[in-house]
Structure 1
Amino acid sequence: MIIILFILFVILAFLSLMLIKNRAVRVISTLVSFVLVALSIVLIVANAHDHYGMDVKAKTAKTQIYSAQDQNTYGVLAYQPVGTSGREKAFVYKAKADAKKTTVAKPDLKTSTQIQNVDGNQAFQVTTTKEYVYKNDFYKFLFGWAGNNHDVKSKVVTYQVPATWIALSAQDGAKLKAVLSAKVSDPDFISWMKQNKETAATDPDQAARDAVSYYKNILANS
């Protein structure tokens, strides 16, 4: 609506300047019209740049995620650092337990990611989104044509990982695979694997925690 008002004020300024013969009335009408034009421009810029007429509201969504490698007794959340700083990561997991393909979640410029340790044996993706929304119907009517209602200000995606899961970077995953390949014929490793499988038959969660702890120790000391 503000765009329509802006156009109407420009037309009004033109008509005032060109058609009103009385000098005093013409000057006043033209000045008022130009003030309204300037005010419209200020409001348009304020809405586009500073989200004038809008509030920031947060909403949180929590969904369960599933292991990127379902052949293991433990869960795997894989990730790959993105960008030169390496602070943000692209995460790999399955969105459904029976999914045939993995999901690759890539962050954008407004998204930050983090990993959080939680209790239990299930992993979750918790997304907290801050959005710009109009304060009331008046502002929505005035600026709604800009299409910026529910624009995202920022987003934080937290991956909640229990002790039965391991979060692995692509680099650590390759390192772990190489170390385990070298241990295939190691009697101690064979014995541990056998014991872990026996534990998994009666207590899967404990077997998963043991495996995760074992593999984290390997990575820390290799």
Structure 2
Amino acid sequence: MILFILIISVVGFAICNVFAKNIFQKIFAIILGLIFLASLALITLNVTNHFGMKKEATVTTEALVSSATSKDFDVLLYQPLGNGKEKVYLYRTNEEQKKPIATKTEQTSYTVKQTQTTHAKVTIKKYVWVYKNKFYELLFGITDNNHEYIKQHYTFEIPKSWPVLSVNQAKAFAKLMKENAEKMKNDAQVYVKEQVMNAMKENPMLDDMQKQTIIQNAQKQYQAKIMQQYLQEVKQNS
């Protein structure tokens, strides 16, 4: 509406200036001129300072699965940009998703939290400009800036067992795991056997269920230990 008012006022002002015969027509021309200037000022304020608008935040939360499709380990991936200080995180929200979603780069910030949770999730808080009410939307809506993007923040909450790796680091880690698969298998068997023997020394009366629990815990401990070792190696070499 404001553009129509602007056009009508400037056309009316021009016509009145040309054909004004008396004081009333001149006053009317001045009024049209003032309306034109006011309309121009309001448009400028709307475009530059978002006059008539307010910030609105929307929050969405989605469950996450590993960024990589590999079943060997869960990971949150990122791709460094430029000098490496900026990053684009890559995430998946379900196992059927073959290609991960890349986070936006424009006016975007991130927080990665590794917690005791067993389920990963991402919370996206997005800020946009919206009109305060229908009047302002009717007045300035023709400029097509309703829901104009301001910024957004991603909060990734992942289990402590999930490493955060660059794409190249993840490839190197997967390669290292594959190359040492046989050694890891043998070492794991030795480690588990030692843990069971130590437990039986302390309590020779262990039943089968207790032994199975010790075996499962030992397997998890070894896997966590060897993964941490290989992760440190990959990060040092990257």
Structure 1 position 88 matched with structure 2 position 86 = yes
CA shift for structure 1 position 195: 6.2
CA RMSD of aligned residues (A): 3.0
Q: What TM-score, normalized by structure 1, do the two folds share?
A: 0.81
Q: Deviations over 1:34-88 (max 9, x none)?
A: 1111111111111112111001121111111211334334311111112x24333
Distance 1:184 1:75, change over 3 A: closer
CA distance in 1, matches of 2:225, 2:118: 13
Structure 1 position 142 matched with structure 2 position 142 = no
Distance 1:194 1:169, change over 3 A: farther
CA shift for structure 1 position 118: 2.8
Aligned match for 2:231, one of 201, 210, 216: 216
Please say if residues 165 and 212 of structure 1, whose CA atoms lie closer than 8 Å, have aligned partners that are also in contact: no
CA distance in 2, matches of 1:68, 1:158: 15
Q: What TM-score, normalized by structure 2, do the two folds share?
A: 0.76
CA distance in 2, matches of 1:176, 1:137: 55
- From the CA coordinates, give the structure whose radius of gyration is larger: 2
CA distance in 2, matches of 1:70, 1:171: 15
Distance 1:52 1:26, change over 3 A: same
CA distance in 2, matches of 1:74, 1:178: 12
- AA partner of residue 9 (structure 1): S
Query: Could you say which structure has the greater relative contact order, defined with CA pairs below 8 angstroms and 6 or more residues apart?
Result: 1
CA distance in 1, matches of 2:92, 2:54: 35
Q: Deviations over 1:99-135 (max 9, x none)?
A: 3x12231423222233222331222121111111111
Structure 1 position 132 matched with structure 2 position 119 = no
Q: Which moved more, 1:72-81 or 1:138-147?
A: 72-81
Please say if residues 131 and 137 of structure 2, whose CA atoms lie closer than 8 Å, have aligned partners that are also in contact: yes
Which residue number in structure 2 is paired with residue 61 of structure 1?
A: 60
**Any unmatched runs of 5+ in structure 1?**
none
Percent of aligned positions that are identical: 23
Higher helix content, 1 or 2: 2
Distance 1:32 1:182, change over 3 A: same
CA shift for structure 1 position 90: 2.2
User: In structure 2, the residue corresponding to 1:36 is in which secondary structure?
Assistant: helix
1:26-45 equivalences in 2 (<5 Å): 26-45=25-44
CA shift for structure 1 position 142: 0.5
Which residue number in structure 2 is paired with residue 19 of structure 1?
A: 19
Please say if residues 65 and 93 of structure 2, whose CA atoms lie closer than 8 Å, have aligned partners that are also in contact: yes
Please say if residues 164 and 212 of structure 1, whose CA atoms lie closer than 8 Å, have aligned partners that are also in contact: no
CA distance in 1, matches of 2:143, 2:224: 52
Distance 1:177 1:140, change over 3 A: same
Please say if residues 132 and 149 of structure 1, whose CA atoms lie closer than 8 Å, have aligned partners that are also in contact: yes
Which residue number in structure 2 is paired with residue 171 of structure 1?
A: 168
Please say if residues 88 and 107 of structure 1, whose CA atoms lie closer than 8 Å, have aligned partners that are also in contact: no
1:150-189 equivalences in 2 (<5 Å): 150-177=147-174, 179-180=176-177, 183=180, 186=183
